[in-house]
């Protein structure tokens, strides 16, 4: 803890010195960002987790092996043929709140209103959004072989599959 405090003091001195020696207004955004980092505490809201990507969020996963993840939420929409028909970035929102904007984007891009949307269990809550029926997939482990086959046969281009992941700095959801 003593070393952390010393590093914070040295960084504060450097930021103040740069503020004095640089021309007025030069690097103002960067210096403001550094000041925010130096002033944040453990209980601060809207923390900066990365200087090169300040918009990165801490996302609580609630799983034992991976409690937290850093990145931004991404909703990717693709049809059953695997063609991506929409993609949107979000802050740290509940999955169910991202479905309606994603459906609106797909309608604007393709000009079609989807009849059904197959989503994962993170989208629980609404069974209909507008004229689109929301189908929540069951865990693959509990489905029998014949049921999987009939679900695969049902799919046509009218269906869309929605996934929400977390875009990390490595570019993997």
* HEC-encoded secondary structure of 73-109: EEEEEEECCCCEEEEEEECCCCHHHHHHHHHHHHHHH
pLDDT, position 37: 92
Q: Give phi and psi for 89, each to the nearest 5.
A: -105, 145
Rounded distance between C-alpha atoms, residue 116 and residue 109, angstroms: 17
pLDDT, position 155: 44
Residues of the chain predicted below pLDDT 70:
139-173
Q: Taking the domains of the chain in order of start, what are their residue ranges?
A: 2-48, 70-167
pLDDT, position 26: 85
pLDDT, position 78: 84
pTM reported for the whole predicted model = 0.58
Calculate the alpha carbon distances from 149 to 12, 72, 173 in Å. Answer: 62, 34, 27
115-158 pLDDT, tens digit each: 888 887 777 777 788 888 888 877 655 445 555 555 554 444 34
Are 19 and 31 within 8 A, CB to CB? Answer: yes
Picking from 99, 131, 127, the residue whose alpha carbon sits closest to that of residue 112 is 131
Helix (H, G, I), strand (E, B) or coil at 61: coil
Per DSSP, helices labelled H in the chain are: 2-21, 28-39, 95-110, 145-154
């Amino acid at each position: 803890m003593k070393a952390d405090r010393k590093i914070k003091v040295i960084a504060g001195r450097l930021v103040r010195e740069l503020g004095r020696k640089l021309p007025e207004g030069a690097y103002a955004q960067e210096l403001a960002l550094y000041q925010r980092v130096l002033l944040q505490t453990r209980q601060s809201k809207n923390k900066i987790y990365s200087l090169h990507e300040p918009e990165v969020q801490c996302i609580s996963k609630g799983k034992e092996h991976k409690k937290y993840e850093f990145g931004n939420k991404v909703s990717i929409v693709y049809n059953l043929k695997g063609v991506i028909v929409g993609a949107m970035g979000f802050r740290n929102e509940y999955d169910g709140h991202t479905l309606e904007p994603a459906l609106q984007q797909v309608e604007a891009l393709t000009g079609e209103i989807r009849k059904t949307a197959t989503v994962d269990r993170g989208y629980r809550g609404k069974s209909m959004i507008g004229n689109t029926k929301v189908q929540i997939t069951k865990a693959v482990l509990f489905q029998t072989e014949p049921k999987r086959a009939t679900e695969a046969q049902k799919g046509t281009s009218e269906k869309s599959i929605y996934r929400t992941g977390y875009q990390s700095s490595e570019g993997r959801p």
